[in-house]
Chain A
Amino acid sequence: MDFVSPVIVPAVIAGFAWLISFRLWNRKAAAPYGHWGGVAALALGYLSAQVLLISWPPWPAASALHWLFYLTIVAGVIALGGHAWDARWWVRAPIESGLLVAFAWSQLRPLVKHTWAAWESTAWLAGLVLFGMAACECVEGLARRRPGVSLPWVLWCTASTAALCLVLTGSALLGQLAGAVAGVLGAAVVLAYWGPTLSLAHGAILLFVLIIHSLLWQGVFYSQLPLTAALLVALAPFAGWVGESTRVRSWALWRLAGLRMACVLAPLLIAVWLAYRFFVEAGVNDYSY
């Protein structure tokens, strides 16, 4: 079984996208508008993983994963366009909201059509869109403030944990796709150690939130990922803001990094524990694959 190449190939593709946009020979130059390579890396990395794992999806899309594939293309093009034009917030916000609505609808469509009452559908759709908007704003804010290794590291931890939780709770496929996103961000972590100006701002965060949230909600609604675990994973990047408080800004760098690491890892470790508990309770030894 080839579990590795669907993670390695996206990481390599992402690495190339990063390298081209980041321009190694100019790696210390500030990039106030981020690097377009972040958008390209996440979009191409995720799309290549899905093609490797499942194949090119049919059109019209039938499943939530098919929709995720096509909407990732749309979101990638929009994010690259927004990056190129440096779109202002009043242009960006409605487009982002529209994308979040499209993603939430495409992920929950079977339940909205066949299972849920109207109020339930409205509540879930509104909840996921608002949560997505909050995540985009919060993590985008961090990306603009803090270029360099810290944010890619936070997002790598988040994607890796999402992958582990999804695998433990019944869907290796969703887990591998989240693992591919982790591979893409792993490449960003490595490059950010080398070039401290690497930035995920202006586009890449939108794609990260759309893809990881979609995979987590699919885990909750179509597999067996506990909702609490999914929420903890999705909330973890918010904890990156802890290091921005004025109370701790004067701390030594290692202490500040330790605090940020602890705040991000705590919800992620609880999520892994919840997923592992589910895995054990479901019976580890009576079925393997």
Chain B
Amino acid sequence: MRHIVLTVLSLSFISFSSGPIHAAEYAVDPAHSSALFRVHHLDASYVYGMMPEVEGTITFDPSSADGNKAQITVKTETLSTFNERRDNHLKSPDFFNTKQFPTITYTSKSWKKVDDHTFEVSGDITLLGVTKPLTATVKYTGTGKNQRGQELVGFETTFVLDRTQFGMTYGVAETGGLGKEATVTLAVEAIRQ
């Protein structure tokens, strides 16, 4: 009888622990995360740039979107388009104004699960001190482990930003200017805390 009770208790413990996985906390790994952007140049080609320093926190459960959250900060001072003179211009008040606005931030408000590897994330992005809503399709790119045995999770998203909505109007023209829309790709790897 005692054995039967213990077996029932053990089985019920196992069934509880193998229930729904609760959202885990992750810290963005700046060494393996970056933001890339491209802008149409003088109606001709695209110019690419990157901001390689990304920080933030993510609360993530792959099975459910309910408790998921993300707070991402991109350091604008790290901007590079692989041309120092252009980088200095992009950091000036004409564009990113990096000394006055050293960061771009994104805070999610709601996550919606589309399929096992896709979420639709809505939130607010703040650029140049102006906050606007932004909804992006975020790919959950996988999980892994680093050399220290820490659990990793990866995401990637690509979205289009109309820079003029944030007051970054320099160089925009009907023809012959710089594109007013920037395509941004954000790739994030985060370490479980």
A contacts, CB < 8 Å to B: 1-2, 53-55, 57-58, 62-66, 110-111, 114-115, 170-174, 218, 221-224, 282-283, 286-287, 289
CA distance A57 to B101 in the complex (A): 15
Task: Name B152-171 residues within 8 Å CB distance of A.
Answer: 164, 167, 169-171
The answer to whether A223 and B171 have CB atoms under 8 Å apart is no
Q: How far is the CB of A112 from chain B (nearest CB, A)?
A: 12
User: Are A53 and B169 touching (Cβ within 8 A)?
Assistant: yes
Q: Assuming A282-B85, A287-B86, what are 4 further A-B pairs, CB within 8 angstroms?
A: A55-B167, A115-B99, A172-B170, A173-B170
A57 and B167 contact, Cβ closer than 8 Å, known pairs A1-B177, A62-B128, A170-B89 = yes
Task: Produce 1/0 per residue, B168-193, CB < 8 A to A.
Answer: 01110100111000000000000000
Chain B, interface residues (CB within 8 Å), range: 20 to 34
B167 / chain A contacts, CB cutoff of 8 Å: 54-55, 57-58, 63
30 contacts between A and B (CB under 8 A): A1-B171, A1-B176, A53-B170, A54-B167, A55-B169, A57-B167, A58-B129, A62-B128, A62-B129, A63-B93, A64-B93, A114-B102, A115-B99, A170-B89, A170-B92, A172-B94, A173-B170, A174-B94, A218-B93, A222-B93, A222-B97, A224-B92, A282-B88, A283-B85, A287-B83, A287-B85, A287-B86, A287-B89, A289-B89, A289-B178
Q: How far is the CA of A92 from the CA of B86 in the complex (A)?
A: 45
Q: Which B-chain residue is minimally distant from A282 (CB atoms)?
A: B85
Task: Select which of B84, B99, B130, B173 is within 8 A of A221 by beta carbon.
Answer: B99
Q: For the complex, what is the distance from the CA of A54 to the CA of B89, rounded to whole Å?
A: 17
Least CB distance from B76 to A in Å reads 12
The interface bits of chain B over 72-105 (1 if a CB of A lies within 8 angstroms of the residue's CB, else 0) are 0000000000011110110011100101111000
**Which residue of chain B has the shortest Cβ distance to A53 in the bound complex?**
B169
Q: Is the CB of A171 within 8 A of B93?
A: yes
Which residues of chain A have C-beta atoms less than 8 A from B94's C-beta?
Answer: 171-174
Given the known A-B contacts A1-B171, A55-B169, A110-B100, are A223 and B164 also in contact in the complex, defined by CB atoms under 8 Å?
A: no
> Chain B residues with Cβ under 8 A from A64's Cβ?
93, 100
How far is B102's CA from A114's CA once the two chains are assembled, in angstroms? 10
Q: A222–B94 Cα gap in the complex (Å)? A: 10
Are A222 and B177 within 8 A (Cβ)?
A: no
Contact A110 B99 (CB under 8 A): yes
Q: Is the CB of B99 within 8 A of A222?
A: yes
Decide: B171 and A289 in contact? CB cutoff 8 A: yes
Closest to A224 in B: B88
- What's the minimum C-beta distance from B78 to chain A, rounded to whole angstroms? 16
* Of A62, A111, A223, the contact of B130 (CB 8 Å cutoff): A62
